[in-house]
């Protein structure tokens, strides 16, 4: 899968979350996503960016615009060096929250994209990668 372009954005604050939302919307438009597809990708990115800042104590998001034949895609990898997720199965359960949220962050993000992968271990941080194809 050739990467057309890519970059890394810092995730340390509320303003960084807003910036990620804006960048992801612009990239989704460049990929030719419909308004609904753009909204799904921005919503998933927003949830994961917030998790990175809130639970991961800050990190980065690597974005990549991909091409595979005639298909275009947008892959986002959210990486932190936080405490990790002790019980991944529980964390992916709708309605479960370790904080004060609605408990739809990880499971909601997973439903909004075509591909979802998570790597985590207690004390080792977390990497969540999402991909949406046009």
Contacts (Cβ under 8 Å, ≥6 apart) of 128: 48, 51, 77, 78, 106, 109, 116, 117, 118
Q: How many CB atoms lie within 10 A of CB 119?
A: 15
The domain limits of the chain are 3-133
DSSP state of 13: S
Q: What is the pLDDT of residue 32?
A: 96
DSSP label of 34: -
pLDDT the model gives residue 86: 86
**Contact of 47 with 92, CB cutoff 8 Å:** no
Pick the CATH number of 3-133 from 3.40.50.1220, 3.30.160.60, 3.30.565.10, 3.30.390.50: 3.30.565.10
Q: Are 129 and 76 in contact (CB under 8 A)?
A: yes
pLDDT tens by residue, the chain, 134 residues:
677 899 999 999 999 999 999 999 999 999 999 999 999 999 999 999 999 999 999 999 999 999 988 899 999 999 999 999 888 888 888 776 666 555 467 888 999 999 999 999 888 999 999 999 99
pLDDT at position 99 = 61
Global pTM? Answer: 0.92
pLDDT for residue 73: 96
Integer angstrom CA distances of residue 104 from 99, 118, 134: 11, 15, 24
């Amino acid at each position: 899968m050739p990467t057309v372009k890519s970059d890394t954005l810092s995730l340390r604050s509320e303003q960084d979350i807003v910036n990620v939302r804006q960048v992801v919307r612009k990239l989704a438009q460049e990929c030719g996503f419909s308004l609904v597809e753009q909204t799904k990708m921005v919503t998933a990115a927003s949830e994961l960016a917030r998790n990175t800042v809130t639970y991961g104590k800050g990190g980065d998001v690597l974005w990549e615009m991909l091409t595979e034949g005639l298909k275009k895609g947008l892959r986002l990898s959210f990486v932190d060096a936080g405490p990790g997720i002790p019980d991944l199965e529980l964390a992916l359960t709708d309605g479960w929250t370790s904080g004060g949220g609605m408990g739809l962050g990880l499971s909601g993000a997973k439903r909004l994209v075509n591909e979802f992968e998570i790597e985590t271990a207690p004390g080792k941080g977390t990497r969540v990668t999402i991909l949406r194809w046009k």
